[in-house]
Amino acid sequence: MAGAKKWTKARANKDKANNPAFFTKQAEFDKLKKDAPKLSVVTVSELIRKYRISGSLARKVMTQLSEEGLIRPVLTHKRQKIYVGSEVVLVEEPVEEEAAEEVVAETE
């Protein structure tokens, strides 16, 4: 009736990132501090991708840069923190008056 069970093949192992958990040279940290105010978005994943550092180091660097005023928080949540560089100007889209009036009318 039923054929023999077909065993699954072993999964291919992904290459695990082996990023350093600390800066080995002061020049690497200085470069990051120099570039940080110009970055449009600063997140843990962006720092990992761009500077090849570990996630824990990226979180500590973001905290330190924020305390020094080199980056500004946009969104802070316990799982995700999003910052922008201090030199980046945030542009808010103007809300149309008609749309704002509709929202007010719906709430009444």
pLDDT of residue 95: 56
Residue recorded with tokens 């969104």: 75
Judged by DSSP in three states, 102 sits in helix
**Is 0.75 topped by the overall pTM?**
no
For 23-73, the pLDDT digits (tens) are: 889 999 999 999 999 999 999 999 999 999 999 999 999 999 999 999 999
Paired tokens of 107: 């709430």
CATH number of 26-85: 1.10.10.10
Paired tokens of 82: 């999003």
DSSP string computed for 23-35: -SSHHHHHHHHHH
Residue recorded with tokens 């802070």: 76
DSSP string computed for 59-86: HHHHHHHHHHTSEEEEEE-SS-EEEEET
